[in-house]
């Protein structure tokens, strides 16, 4: 192979793409007329430039479906993230700020037929009334608490709230108001049935038991998921571990480090709801990363 052939071979790709100037084109064509080997090389270059047209649409349909699936997953994850922020912010804005007893906050009035009506001011966001029978089983003792929250302070309601304590004409021995702290309950109606006259409503500790249970489940299932080699059981223990972690995070986001609550039912339902959202968000995020890795 001569030096000229080497030069021509270097120029052939540009010649096929029509990127040479006129002098170079003339030079290449004159050489091709006298060199069979370079003409063969030209055919090879031309064949390499022509790519076969893909006529099977299946790969493109699969890619399109995967892209659409990923978009849906990202959309769902964004909704879950928004829901998490909404629950946390909503839990903070609606967290009860228990009000001390003042006559302008709650007033008790007795009707002619013996019904006792509790009327609350517009500064009260919500209230709770609980009752219990006295030891002789003839009368009832009522406990009232009222609270405000950040949401009501930002958007105060002008509508006064009221409720009938004894709609079925129950006999009321006493009505106590407790301010949701360690202070003693205040007698605001009737006579005290207690010898020393003092009553203190303590916060509920049920959230502490749930928190300890979730922590123990996290430890036990985390160890079992690592130790057991059975993939099926290891996966189950792993998911229980993740649910426990989600509950612990939810408690931290809703209640912080506190485990006492005067509204345990509200806090527990809110924590459980946030637990489900966090767990679902983890599953979706894990699937997104797995798809990306694949």
User: What is the spatial distance between Cα 66 and Cα 238, in angstroms, rounded to a whole number?
Assistant: 27
Separation in Å, CA 117 to CA 32, 36, 110, 129, 172: 110, 112, 6, 12, 12
Average pLDDT score over residue span 223-231: 80
Residue 51's pLDDT is 52
In this predicted model, which residue has the larger pLDDT, 126 or 156?
126
Residue 274's pLDDT is 92
38-47, 68-77, 93-102, 191-200: the lowest-pLDDT one:
191-200
Contact 178, 145 (CB under 8 A): yes
Contact 246, 275 (CB under 8 A): yes
Two structure tokens written together for 113: 């037929």
* Residues 6 or more apart in contact with residue 93 via CB below 8 angstroms: 149, 150, 151, 154
Q: What is the mean pLDDT of the chain?
A: 83
Confidence of residue 282 (pLDDT cuts 50, 70, 90): confident
User: What is the spatial distance between Cα 284 and Cα 193, in angstroms, rounded to a whole number?
Assistant: 57
Confidence of residue 220 (pLDDT cuts 50, 70, 90): very high
E strand intervals along 161-235: 161-164, 172-177, 186-190
Residue 263's pLDDT is 79
pLDDT exceeds cutoff 90 at 190: no
* Residues 6 or more apart in contact with residue 9 via CB below 8 angstroms: 38, 41
pTM: 0.61
Residue 59's pLDDT is 72
pLDDT exceeds cutoff 70 at 195: no
User: What is the spatial distance between Cα 100 and Cα 272, in angstroms, rounded to a whole number?
Assistant: 30
User: What is the spatial distance between Cα 129 and Cα 146, in angstroms, rounded to a whole number?
Assistant: 9
12-35 burial, b if ≥16 CB within 10 A, otherwise e?
A: beebeeeebeeeeeebbeebbeeb
pLDDT exceeds cutoff 90 at 247: yes
Confidence of residue 219 (pLDDT cuts 50, 70, 90): very high
DSSP element (H, E) containing 78: helix 58-93
Confidence of residue 85 (pLDDT cuts 50, 70, 90): confident
Average pLDDT score over residue span 141-148: 88
pLDDT exceeds cutoff 70 at 29: yes
Average pLDDT score over residue span 102-124: 87
Contact 159, 120 (CB under 8 A): no
Average pLDDT score over residue span 106-114: 88
Residue 248's pLDDT is 94
Q: Which of 107, 106, 103, 110 is nearest to 124 (CA)?
A: 106
Average pLDDT score over residue span 270-283: 89
pLDDT exceeds cutoff 60 at 280: yes
């Amino acid at each position: 192979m001569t030096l000229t052939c080497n030069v021509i071979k270097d120029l052939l790709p540009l010649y096929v793409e029509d990127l040479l100037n006129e002098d170079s084109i003339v030079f290449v064509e004159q050489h091709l007329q006298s060199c069979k080997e370079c003409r063969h090389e030209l055919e090879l270059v031309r064949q390499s430039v022509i790519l076969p047209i893909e006529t099977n649409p299946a790969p493109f349909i699969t890619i399109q479906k995967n892209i659409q699936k990923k978009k849906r997953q990202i959309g769902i994850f964004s909704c879950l993230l928004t829901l998490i922020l909404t629950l946390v912010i909503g839990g903070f804005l609606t967290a009860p700020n228990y009000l001390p007893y003042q006559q302008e906050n709650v007033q008790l009035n007795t009707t002619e037929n013996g019904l006792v009506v509790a009327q609350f001011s517009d500064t009260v966001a919500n209230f709770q009334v609980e009752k219990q029978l006295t030891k002789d089983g003839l009368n009832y003792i009522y406990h009232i608490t009222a609270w405000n929250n950040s949401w009501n302070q930002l958007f105060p309601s002008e509508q006064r709230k009221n409720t009938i304590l004894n709609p079925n004409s129950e006999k009321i021995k006493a009505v106590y108001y407790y301010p949701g702290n360690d202070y003693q309950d205040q007698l605001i109606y009737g006579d005290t049935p207690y010898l020393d006259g003092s009553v203190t409503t303590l916060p509920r500790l049920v959230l502490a038991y749930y928190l300890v249970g979730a922590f123990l489940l996290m430890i036990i299932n985390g160890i079992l998921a690592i130790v057991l080699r059975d993939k099926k059981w290891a996966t189950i223990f792993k998911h229980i571990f993740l649910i426990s972690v989600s509950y612990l995070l939810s408690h931290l986001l809703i209640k912080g480090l506190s485990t006492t609550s005067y509204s345990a039912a509200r806090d527990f339902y809110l924590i459980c709801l946030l637990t489900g959202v966090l767990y679902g968000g983890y599953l979706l995020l894990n699937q997104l990363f797995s798809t990306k890795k694949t």
